[in-house]
Structure 1
Amino acid sequence: MNTHSQMINGLDKDQMMTTIAAIQQQPGLARFQFRARNRWVSGGENRSTIQDFYGAGQEDDSRAQPFHFTNGEPPVLLGANEGANPVEYLLHALAGCVTTTLVLHAAARGIRIRALSTELEGDIDLHGLLGLDDGVPAGYEQITIRMKVDADCSDQELEDLMGYARQHSPVCNTVCRPVPVRLERVV
């Protein structure tokens, strides 16, 4: 029995393979539900709390303390810089998810990542948000992700890996395809 796990890109490859095998044997283990709770404070400020989720066939209680996120707006958008605004958090979520997906799949392919950084830009026209032009989307018109990756693979392998990460990142996939969002009033 091998008592030494192979670590690659900060991930335990043996544990990764064990997880994949478990999901292949019991597909229901792959179903997750993540949750966030939000409360408005004032103006453009509101706060989200994230703690519990359902995954791997059960409620997860591994987080002793919740994560707190403050959403705000810059003064030009009537806020006081209480925190990043929600569309900036979307860029943060996209960067984090694409990065994690790339690192995970690099490890699965045996590719070592030495360094990885990203820069994101998202273009928005406020005519959509403000309802001034129905032909302008309320959200991002375009998002650009620039990745600088130093890895022990060929340029072609890196291009393939980046494309795979774009397709398989849950946040990128969510942003790139229509996802139904229900807005329900709770009484």
Structure 2
Amino acid sequence: MINGVDTEALRRTVDAVREKPGLAQVTFGVRSEWDQGCRQRATTTDLLQDNRVVTGRTARYVLESDEPTALLGTDSAASPGEYVLQALAGCYAVTFSTIAATRGIELSSLRLELQTDFDLQGFLALDEAVRPGAQEIRVHVRAESPNATTEQLQELTEHVQKRSPIRDTLANPVTVTTILLTDEGLSHPPA
């Protein structure tokens, strides 16, 4: 056990995926309901692996979001932008601890400070040249280890950037398919 990661279980997982590549295919989901204004409440749904429900995961988690009052919300929950940062921070933590464990690097501390910038002119359709999404995400990493050099921690940080699924999702184009469902069934855009 290194960094809270069961290295033997990790090795078995790698071997299982190597033997049956379908196990590498994982699908996460949430079901969301709009409340009022900028509020929404989402609940996690079944986790799928190799197109099968993972029966061992029975817990459901609730994620609520809102916007700060300065952005028309009631400031009753974290904003979607903060959830993006949380997703990246969570994935970095998993990726750092796991890769460090495979390299025998013990982490005594890992702190991440993240910020992202949005230009509301895109969201508000005030300037069509401004995209509504994040302009930049900055991550400052403070990693400490009793058995790794600064150079090893820098190499680990670079490797984490290459292997983090959420960083990859944010840094590269992803197909997002949005379909309106109605009582009449699937809604298709006019031809």
TM-score after normalising by structure 2: 0.91
User: Counterparts in 2 of 1:30-179, with a 5 A limit?
Assistant: 30-55=24-49, 58-151=52-145, 152-179=147-174
Q: Which residue of 1 aligns with 2:12?
A: 18
Helix, strand or coil at the partner of 1:121: strand
Q: Per-residue deviation at 1:57?
A: 5.8
* Cα distance in structure 1, aligned partners of 2:63 and 2:122: 26
TM-score after normalising by structure 1: 0.93
Q: Per-residue deviation at 1:49?
A: 0.4
Q: Per-residue deviation at 1:63?
A: 3.5
Helix, strand or coil at the partner of 1:164: helix
Q: Which stretches in structure 1 are left out of the alignment for 5+ residues?
A: 1-6
Q: Identity over the aligned pairs, expressed in percent? A: 34
* Cα distance in structure 1, aligned partners of 2:56 and 2:134: 34
CA deviation string 1:118-148 (max 9, x = no partner): 1001011100111111111111101100010
Query: Which residue identity is paired with 1:181?
Result: V
Query: Which residue identity is paired with 2:24?
Result: A
Range with greater deviation from structure 2 (73-82 or 52-61) = 52-61
* Cα distance in structure 2, aligned partners of 1:74 and 1:167: 33
The answer as to whether partners of 1:128 and 1:137 remain within 8 angstroms in 2 is yes
CA deviation string 1:95-129 (max 9, x = no partner): 11011101110001111001101100101110011
* Cα distance in structure 2, aligned partners of 1:136 and 1:70: 28
Coordinate RMSD, CA, aligned: 1.1
Task: Give the number of equivalent residue pairs.
Answer: 181
The yes-or-no answer on 1:185 pairing with 2:166 is no
